[in-house]
A and B are shown apart, each in its own frame.
Chain A
Amino acid sequence: MELDFLATVLLSSLSSASILLIATLGLAVVYGLMGVINLAHGEFLMVGAYSALTATQIGLPYPLAIPFAVAMTMLIGATVELLIIRKLYGRIFDTMLATWGLGMVFNQAAVLIFGTVSPGIGMPQWNFQIGDYSLAFYPIAMIFVAAVMLAFVYFLMTHTVYGMKARASIQEPQMAQAIGIDSSRVNTMTFAIGCGLAGFAGAILLPIIPATPSMGLFFAVKGFLTVVVAGPVALTGSAITALGLGGGASVTASFMTSVVGDVFFFLMTALLLWLYPLGISANWRRKL
């Protein structure tokens, strides 16, 4: 095996893992800090993608379309939390069912608003050469984006007042309330942030994955499994799981076939859940 092939496999597998992490982080935050599995996460991603697409269509440059998408999805996320999620605290299966249904509603709403095909925005046609292999620049840049995103969420949770309140609300809910933290407001914020992260993912991945009403489904399964395998330590756990499962699947796909890559992903998931039923991070001392 030539060195240049190995180098491209390494880089693009890292980029695959990063794309998975970008798409999953919002789900991980909501699950880790609220104990809510948001099955409409993929649809929030789709809403982000369409928001960014619409923004570029009305003339906003793409870099400005991304914050627009984040703002839209946060707003919708906060509304959903107030109207639906709030009523279902502690009922994890009911929440899953409600968000699953919500996802269907979003999906069909997108069909009605945008139709079934929308023009893509295309990927920057930059590429670079490693030996005999040429690689597109944009997907590789996602490695950097994922790192920044992870650092941002870590900072938000550890170095801001909101972050401390959010962690307090989930770790010691009664104590948090006793010292005057309005945990329901904190939860609304957390859910909105989770949705905003999904919106960011949809917008930043738009050049790679074109906006379609059903795009949420592509990430629903793998994102969900990543979060479940990661377990209670949402951030570090998800990052490591995305790297291991997503990256591993991509390496496998490069040397064998994409189908074997998928088999690797799901077999590893099953194996890890068998070894760590509560997720790989169940016994970690870290909290984030």
Chain B
Amino acid sequence: MKNLLGTVSLVSAMTLTSTAALAEVKVGAIFDLTGGLNIYGIQQDNALDLAIASVNAAGGVNGEEVVVVGYDAQSELSKYTQFAQTAVLRDGIAAMFAGLTSSSREAIRPIFREANIPYFYSSLYEGGACDKQTFVTGSSASQQLSVLMEWAVENYGPRIYIMAPDYNFGTISGHWVHEYAKQLGAEVVGEDYLALSVTDYAPTIQKIQASNPDLVVALPVGAAQTGFLEQFAAAGLKDSIGVVSTNYGSGNQQVVVSPQAGEGLVSAMGYFPSVESDANAEFLAAWEEAYGTDTPVVAGAVDVWNAVHLWAAAANKAGTTDADEVIAALESGLTFEAPNGTVTLEPGSHHLRQDIYIARGDANNGFEIIATFEDSEPTYENEVCNLIDNPDAAEHFTPEG
């Protein structure tokens, strides 16, 4: 179905180009509409279409209609680079919205740098990307963990166990947990980094019990790791050991996990559908009209929505879609009334200052927000990355050691 929509929008984009009656601006989109990552990709793409429609309804960009040239990366890295090249060389896009995994971002980031096209990456991630053309609208690991760890240690106690996926998102997040634990006088009593394909968590659960923690920082990625939460609950540990996460819910895991296992799990992210604000109510109404109420909206979708609106605001402010002027406008301290509260694009780090919400899973596969940390800074990125002073920087910073 999404394939079809993608094709339709591609075809309509082509017909519009050939008739060329209206002035129009093209933007590119590459998301995983098929394959294992589509639990995130389909919603990101839906959010993009919705955001573009809302921008066009408000008069487009500098009076021109915005048209999407969309691609399905099929959860494959090679497709990202292939389509990014196509979008740059053939489609003549003014901006690109793409990517879910950090590896996909790192694969295509140089392409947009080379072509000097603003590139928006919209997903929570481990943090540290720093590039003149790259703008990150998701929250970073340090942004989420700084507030979450303080809350967790205060509410559960100082003994921490880390369960995380064995690649940079997991290991860098693990680093931040160690860092904040030290600052808070807490202690990491054990950690386990797991391959994404592990389905049997008995060994991890034994090790958790052997090290007797007060809380587990669980960062399950993908469908298999969601099983950890189920097995943890079934072993009867959920009542004595707290579970906190920075990504539980980012792929609607709270729907997959049974209510018995999901109730009481704590997650800190930049968006939950239960955020109470007018902007969110409007956004959700538009979303439900377009896509129904079957699956709750994930943070990544809102991150895309924000990215599109920030780009449109910058282009309108600049009065052109010329890359240098749009990037300058994006670096002017833009703010946007987003579904997840007011967000501000940090001029130096190209990351978003945004609210971080701590939410607890309820008995109906949903979330109840228990704490809001307004206007949280992407501390680490602001610290290491300043693209105003150092516009030539092109790095992916990782914390030392």
Contacts and interface: CB of A to CB of B under 8 A. Distances in A.
Interface in A153-184: none
B182 interface: no
B224 interface: yes
A46 to B, nearest CB: 10
B223 A135 contact: no
A123 B234 contact: yes
A253 B255 CA distance: 29
Nearest to A142: B200
B202 A139 contact: yes
Interface stretch (B61-69, B187-195, B338-346): B187-195
Interface in B258-303: 258-261, 294-295
B28 interface: no
A16 B200 contact: yes
B193 A257 contact: yes
A120 interface: yes
Nearest to A132: B209
A253 B205 CA distance: 11
A253 B197 CA distance: 14
Contacts, number: 142
Nearest to A138: B234
Interface stretch (A29-37, A108-116, A278-286): A108-116
Which of A120, A126, A215, A257 has most chain B Cβ within 10 Å? A120
B206 interface: yes
Interface residues of B, number: 48
Contacts of B224: 209, 215, 218
B166 interface: yes
A267 interface: no
Nearest to B210: A5
A250 B203 CA distance: 7
Contacts of B226: 210
Nearest to B34: A108
B204 interface: yes
A215 B199 CA distance: 10
Contacts of B195: 258-259, 262
B361 to A, nearest CB: 13
Contacts of B192: 257-258
A117 B255 contact: yes
Interface in A209-229: 209-210, 212-215, 217-219, 221
Classify chain A: how many residues form its interface, as a range.
35 or more
A209 to B, nearest CB: 5
A212 B203 contact: no
Contact of B227 (A117, A118, A119, A210): A210
B366 to A, nearest CB: 12
Contact of A210 (B34, B203, B210, B230): B230
Contacts of B259: 122
A273 interface: no
Given A122-B258, A123-B231, A259 B202 contact: no
B203 A111 contact: no
A214 B221 CA distance: 13
Contacts of A137: 234
Contacts of A214: 35-36, 223
A261 interface: yes
B209 A133 contact: yes
A277 B40 CA distance: 42
Contacts of B205: 136
B365 interface: yes
A259 B193 contact: yes
A48 to B, nearest CB: 15
B231 A139 contact: yes
Contacts of B197: 217-218, 221
Nearest to A262: B195
B251 interface: yes
A225 B230 CA distance: 27
B257 interface: yes
The list of the 7 closest CB pairs from A to B, nearest first, reads: A122-B258, A12-B202, A136-B234, A212-B223, A253-B203, A127-B236, A123-B234
Given A120-B258, A136-B235, 14 more contacts: A16-B202, A116-B38, A118-B256, A119-B256, A122-B260, A123-B230, A123-B234, A127-B235, A134-B209, A210-B223, A213-B36, A218-B224, A250-B203, A258-B166
12 contacts: A19-B200, A117-B251, A117-B252, A120-B258, A135-B235, A139-B234, A209-B227, A218-B199, A250-B202, A257-B192, A258-B203, A259-B193
